[in-house]
Amino acid sequence: MSTEVDAYIERSKRWPTEMTALRSVLLDSGLSEEIKWGKPCYSHEGANIVIIQEMKDFLALMFFKGA
């Protein structure tokens, strides 16, 4: 678990509970996490798989092309 992602989730005003739940699933899947482009990003063997993006009215789990 990344302390940078911890801090990102703590700063969230709209989606901290949902991000924590998604984070748990992604980490249990064996993905590594870090902050990329200012957002929590999850990868496997150096390849980006998914990023969590906060929007005004929803929380997006966005998969990278080819993932």
Q: Give per-residue pLDDT as tens, 33-47.
A: 999 999 999 999 999
pTM value?
Answer: 0.90
**What is the rounded distance in angstroms from the CA atom of residue 51 to the CA atom of residue 35?**
9
Proportion of the chain above pLDDT 70, given as a percent: 99
Q: Where are the alpha helices (DSSP H) in 16-63?
A: 16-28
Residue-wise burial string across 22-58, b where 16 or more C-beta atoms lie within 10 A, e elsewhere: bbeebeeeebebeeeeeebbbbeeeebbbbbebeeee
Using pLDDT thresholds of 50, 70 and 90, give the confidence band for residue 24.
very high
Using pLDDT thresholds of 50, 70 and 90, give the confidence band for residue 29.
very high
Report whether 9 contacts 19 (CB < 8 A). yes
